[in-house]
Amino acid sequence: MEQCASVEREVDKVLQKFLTYGQHCEQSLEELLHHVGQLRAELASAALQGTPLSATLSLVMSQCCRKIKDTVQKLASDHKDIHSSVSRVGKAIDRNFDSEICGVVSDAVWDSREKQQQILQTAIVEHLYQQGMLGVAEELCQESTLNVDLDFKQPFLELNRILEALHKQDLGPALEWAVSHRQRLLELNSSLEFKLHQLYFIRLLAGGPEKQLEALSYARHFQPFAVLHQREIQVMMGSLVYLRLGLEKSPYCHLLDSSHWAEIRETFTRDACSLLGLSVESPLSVSFASGCVALPVLMNIKAVIEQRQCTGVWSHKDELPIEIELGMKCWYHSVFACPILRQQTSDSNPPIKLICGHVISRDALNKLISGG
């Protein structure tokens, strides 16, 4: 991040110079216009009187022309100084960033260039679908001749359709989806359906006393959630007492907070993605954020490897020469390392639980068996 801060400082200097130059230029031009205006008025007055041009006016005109010329030259000179500052920004970028970063990772990581291109295109298309840019994703598929199955697109289409309705404060599609997936949501300990019913009830409360009977009738939807959400249901029932006086000035005014809509969109996105087997964040955005953290470290490692001529240290496709800390945000699953072999377990070498309760890797178990 120090490299970014260094470039940012140069950009700030250029912006400050542009601001100062603009103010100075405006002030200088205003002074010139005022001076020329006064001279024009004096010349017009002399012309009306029919008097010949005096030596004083000739001198003033000469001084005015000289002042205009000096001001223009000064502004042009200041503008050239800004050009040099802009060029320093380019030099700062070249100095702080490596223009060629493709060589950080060996081409052996990919099976082929076609495979590399296909993986990248698929990641971009999935990102576009997840962000709701369906038209752009379809256009990319056509131009890149990437075949995307309807089964791959369908979850994203449904997800974006419901989220678009929630943005319009339409709870119907989300409620219909939650009811149809009730059992699977319960297995995830999700409170999505209750929160949707709660928000629908609050919308009825916001309608005033005219919606009181409808709200009481809708409260029957809370019956399946009475055990887990008793406190929230009691609060909503208590708010009915203040309905005629107005909830805005009651102790229950927090129910009308607009932030509930943002919360329900986040809850729906998280639970729906979990149910459909999708990640909340697109793999492309996660990879990009992780790469920004890991790239400086990898570039330093590559420089050290080339300097010491030990290229064989980094020859594996699926692992890095050193561990790179990406932060808790990028922790998606636990990692188990065998306490005997000091190796991370994998699909081909999974963890095995012994009768005594200890957990080791399968390779370690096989070595123990073969060793008697």
In this structure, of 64-78, 154-168, 213-227, 308-322, the range with the lowest mean pLDDT score is 308-322
What pTM did the predictor assign?
0.56
List strand residue ranges (DSSP E) for the chain, in order: 351-353, 359-361
In Å, how far from its chain's centre is CA 244?
43
Report the distance separating Cα 201 and Cα 218, nearest Å: 7
Rounded Cα gap, residues 155 and 345, in angstroms: 32
What single letter denotes the amino acid at residue 178? A
Query: Would the CA dihedral through 90, 94, 97, 98 be positive or negative?
Result: positive
| Residue 106 banded pLDDT, cuts 50, 70, 90 | low
CA–CA dist 218, 198 (Å, integer): 10
From residue 200, alpha-carbon distances to 74, 169, 272 in Å are: 67, 10, 19
Q: Which residue has better confidence, 1 or 300?
A: 300
Q: Which of 32-41, 52-61, 191-200, 270-279 has the lowest mean pLDDT?
A: 52-61
Q: Which is more confident, 197 or 154?
A: 197
Does residue 1 have a pLDDT over 70?
no
pLDDT digit string (tens) for 134-162? Answer: 888 888 888 887 887 777 778 888 888 88
Is 52 a residue whose pLDDT tops 80? no
Q: How far is CA 181 from CA 7, 144, 176, in A?
A: 51, 36, 9
219-263, pLDDT tens digit by residue? 888 888 888 888 888 888 888 888 888 778 888 888 888 888 889
Q: Which residues of 87-112 are buried (b: 16+ CB within 10 A; e: fewer)?
A: eebeebeeeeeeeeeeebbeeeebee
- Check pLDDT > 80 for residue 307: no
Tokens 């190796």 map to which residue? 343
The values of phi and psi at residue 337, to 5°, are: -110, 135
**Residues 310-320: pLDDT tens digits?**
666 665 566 66
pLDDT of 49 above 80: no
Whole-number pLDDT of residue 359: 92
Q: How far apart are the first and last CA of the chain?
A: 54
Average pLDDT of the chain is 82
Please report the pLDDT score of residue 311 as a whole number: 63
Q: What is the pLDDT averaged over residues 196-214?
A: 86
pLDDT above 60 for 322: yes
Mean pLDDT of 7-30: 86
Strand partners, 69: none
Inter-axis angle of helices 150-167 and 259-276, nearest 10: 170
- Check residue 122 and give its pLDDT: 86
What's the pLDDT band for 351 if we cut at 50, 70, 90? very high
Q: How far, CA to CA in Å, does 292 sit from each of 29, 298, 301, 361?
A: 47, 10, 15, 33
CA angle 167, 261, 217 (to 5 degrees): 105
